[in-house]
């Protein structure tokens, strides 16, 4: 019999199944475990957004939406981005996508030719590597552990010089999954200066922009608008992961081209969920604030425990993840540590090395979980570490 998998797109062989998902599935089977692996808000979608969706159904908004999205949503998105972050995209410079995930895919597939290189600072959200690989591109992973998990202008310039003209894109994610690191306006300006007038796109994943704890969110799009492709959405800001609404922003000439991949892969996103998202970005422009305050309290609680235990953490300033280095006297293989912690300590935290070079010896804890769970999880962690230290 012929083995038909041999005849698939060869790029697929280069795409790994998700280690994070495997770990999360393993951890889920363990009774009474406290789960810090989740990448989505534990809050429910605000009531006015649900009501907008219900109204939309009653109004028979059951037909195809315009390919790039309903005008109401694109108008609200345009105003939201301008008022909140001084990002200036007209409604025609925005595509409504199937979550930020489709926005990333559309941008990457639209830009890359086979063999093109994409600079990805690590530790990173692994989806970027998979998308670049599927598009026939070559991910260039840049370890940022030595620079506080940030891509510096020096590292960027050095990498561009070393990798040469095949570099077509750099992917930046701030606030970052998995590290929670953010960039200041000065840091973004300096990165923009390196990229300016080079034929390189900056794909900026700002899906966590509303979850910024200590300073206002800044965007590279303010300093390098012609080369920036913005990815954002309502999944994290409005606790709407299941509604699958993302946003892609870019100058008009680029949007006209990006729209082709979007249209031919998904036609348009669901009309009802777009109506709900229009309410999120219109009436609900500050819906994230109470959630942000809750996340901030949780972050501080976990940080204090990790500090006490001798773990080393770069204080996360955004998103809802803590990336912490295992205390030096404990098991240093992060995968071994995480599996043992899950089985014997009843705490599930993702091994840091699953996020790429620079993540060895780290764990990622998501604090998108209730304070009661967090308190129990930290007690479990303390007990586990105490046992390790006396065994
Ligand atoms: C950095 C980052 N980008 C994009 C996404 C996907 O967002 P969406 O659910 O809107 O597709 C996630 C989800 O965890 C993420 O962490």
Q: 47-281 architecture in CATH?
A: 3-Layer(aba) Sandwich (3.40)
- Is residue 149 scored above 90 in pLDDT? yes
Is there an atom of ligand 1 within 6 Å of 131 CB?
no
Q: Strands 362-366 and 350-351, how do they pair?
A: antiparallel
| Top CATH class, 7-44+288-390 | alpha beta
> What is the number of alpha carbons within 13 Å of residue 120 lying toward its C-beta?
27
* pLDDT tier at 17, thresholds 50, 70, 90: confident
Is there an atom of ligand 1 within 6 Å of 318 CB?
no
What's the whole-number average pLDDT of the chain? 97
* Atom number, ligand 1, closest to the C-alpha of residue 102: 11
Q: DSSP character for 310?
A: T
Q: Measure 211 CA to ligand 1 centroid, in angstroms.
A: 13
Residue with tokens 């990229």: 195
Token pair, residue 252, equals: 């008009």
Is there an atom of ligand 1 within 6 Å of 366 CB?
no
**Segments of the chain assigned to CATH 3.90.1150.10:** 7-44+288-390
**Segments of the chain assigned to CATH 3.40.640.10:** 47-281
Q: Strands 201-205 and 167-173, how do they pair?
A: parallel
Note the pLDDT of residue 38: 87
Range 142-152 average pLDDT: 97
Is there an atom of ligand 1 within 6 Å of 100 CB?
yes
- Nearest one of 242, 211, 217, 240 to 230, comparing CA atoms: 217
Q: Strands 138-143 and 117-122, how do they pair?
A: parallel
Q: Measure 74 CA to ligand 1 centroid, in angstroms.
A: 20
pLDDT tens across 100-133, in order?
Answer: 999 999 999 999 999 999 999 999 999 999 999 9
- Nearest one of 364, 354, 310, 334 to 176, comparing CA atoms: 364
């Amino acid at each position: 019999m012929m083995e038909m998998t041999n005849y698939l797109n060869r790029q697929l062989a280069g795409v790994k199944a998700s280690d994070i998902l495997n770990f999360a599935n393993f951890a889920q089977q363990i009774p009474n475990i406290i789960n810090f692996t989740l990448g989505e808000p534990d809050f429910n979608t605000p009531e006015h957004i649900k009501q907008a969706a219900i109204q939309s159904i009653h109004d028979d908004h059951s037909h195809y939406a315009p390919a790039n999205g309903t005008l109401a949503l694109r108008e609200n998105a345009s105003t939201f981005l301008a008022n909140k972050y001084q990002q200036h995209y007209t409604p025609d410079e925005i595509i409504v996508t199937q979550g930020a995930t489709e926005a990333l895919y559309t941008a990457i597939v639209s830009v890359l030719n086979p063999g093109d290189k994409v600079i990805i600072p690590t530790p990173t959200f692994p989806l970027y590597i998979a998308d670049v690989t599927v598009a026939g591109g070559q991910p260039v992973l840049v370890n940022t552990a030595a620079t506080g998990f940030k891509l510096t202008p020096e590292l960027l310039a050095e990498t561009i010089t070393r990798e040469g003209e095949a570099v077509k894109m750099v992917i930046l994610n701030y606030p970052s999954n998995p590290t929670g690191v953010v960039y200041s306006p000065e840091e973004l300006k300096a990165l923009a200066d390196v990229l300016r007038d080079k034929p390189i796109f900056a794909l900026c994943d700002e899906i966590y922009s509303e979850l910024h704890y200590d300073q206002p969110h800044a965007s590279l799009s303010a300093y390098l608008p012609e080369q920036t492709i913005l990815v954002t959405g309502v999944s994290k800001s409005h606790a709407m992961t299941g509604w699958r609404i993302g946003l892609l922003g870019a100058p008009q000439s680029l949007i006209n081209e990006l729209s082709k991949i979007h249209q031919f892969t998904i036609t348009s996103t669901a009309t009802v969920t777009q109506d709900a998202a229009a309410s999120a970005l219109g009436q609900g422009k500050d819906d994230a604030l109470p959630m942000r305050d809750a996340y901030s309290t949780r972050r501080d609680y976990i940080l204090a425990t990790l500090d006490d235990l001798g773990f080393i953490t770069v204080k996360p300033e955004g998103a809802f993840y803590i990336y912490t280095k295992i205390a030096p006297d404990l098991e240093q293989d992060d995968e071994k540590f995480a599996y043992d912690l899950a089985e014997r300590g009843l705490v599930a935290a993702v091994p840091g090395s699953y996020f790429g070079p620079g993540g060895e010896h780290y764990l990622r804890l998501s604090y998108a979980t209730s304070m009661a769970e967090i308190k129990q999880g930290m007690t479990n962690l303390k007990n586990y570490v105490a046992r390790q230290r006396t065994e």
